[in-house]
Amino acid sequence: MKTKLTRVCVYCGSSSRVNQSYLDAARELGMVIAQHKLTLVYGGANVGCMGAIADAALAAGGDVIGVIPKGLVEKEVAHQGLTELHIVDDMHQRKALMAELSDAFIAAPGGLGTLEELFEMATWAQLGFHTKPMGLYNVNHFFDGLVGFLSHARQEGFLADAHLSLFNCEQSPKQLIEQLETQASISQDKWW
């Protein structure tokens, strides 16, 4: 089966109390996604790196789909300028809809929410529920420690090589997107 990348989901931090370089990097990724004619799917908030990536993708002429639970519309300040905003009942529906709408998943720097979303998609891939490519946007080496920990888990026998290699780890947003595009277009049996 061949898949063309059309919609990319980005999980990223909602905190605004982060170094400016993370917000700038989120903007760069949003711009690159739009330049590659891809639609951004994200959590629908207008705060932190989430707001930054959405604004940049929209400013570069891209389409952006947000998915936010009704309980967070005020807390995370739902973005009012998106191409589409889906307001769902709860976190489970949010993750399920984001997964369904997207052909690939990227985790950018973020906190517990970002990691939880990333690992849910990774465990679904491990179980064979999807074969969509996944990436880590390694701004400022943010994910080096996580990749090191996963390598440790593999060495200790808890993780297979194939599952460790699920994570395409890149500092350059352009390279990351192009890697995901290549993986999505390869016959999935070859890489999965």
Among 76, 103, 170, 181, the residue binding ligand AMP under the rule CB under 6 A is 76
Closer to ligand AMP by Cβ: residue 5 or 54:
54
Tokens linked to 22: 């993370």
Q: How far apart are CA 49 and CA 92, in angstroms?
A: 22
DSSP per-residue string spanning 58-102: HHTT--EEEEEEGGGTTTTTB-SS-SEEEEESSHHHHHHHHHHH-
Contact at 8 Å (CB) between 34 and 62?
A: yes
**Quick check: 179 binds ligand AMP (CB under 6 A)?**
no
Q: Least Å distance between CB 2 and ligand AMP?
A: 30
How many residues lie near ligand AMP (CB under 6 A)? Answer: 17
**Quick check: 116 binds ligand AMP (CB under 6 A)?**
yes
Among 27, 79, 95, 132, the residue binding ligand AMP under the rule CB under 6 A is 95
Among 26, 29, 41, 45, the residue binding ligand AMP under the rule CB under 6 A is 45
Among 19, 111, 149, 153, the residue binding ligand AMP under the rule CB under 6 A is 111
Contact at 8 Å (CB) between 173 and 145?
A: no
Q: How far apart are CA 2 and CA 99, in angstroms?
A: 18
Q: How far apart are CA 171 and CA 25, in angstroms?
A: 10
Closer to ligand AMP by Cβ: residue 169 or 186:
169
Phi-psi map region of 44: left, alpha, beta (phi>0 left; psi -120 to 50 alpha): left
Closest residue to ligand AMP using C-beta atoms = 113
> What track of x and - describes contact with ligand AMP for positions 123 through 162 (by CB under 6 A)?
----------------------------------------
Query: Which of 9-17, 23-31, 135-143, 154-162 is the region at the interface with ligand AMP (rule: CB under 6 A)?
Result: 9-17
Beta-carbon count within 10 A of 113 CB: 17
The binding site for ligand AMP (CB under 6 A) comprises 13-15, 43, 45, 72, 76, 91, 94-95, 110-114, 116-117
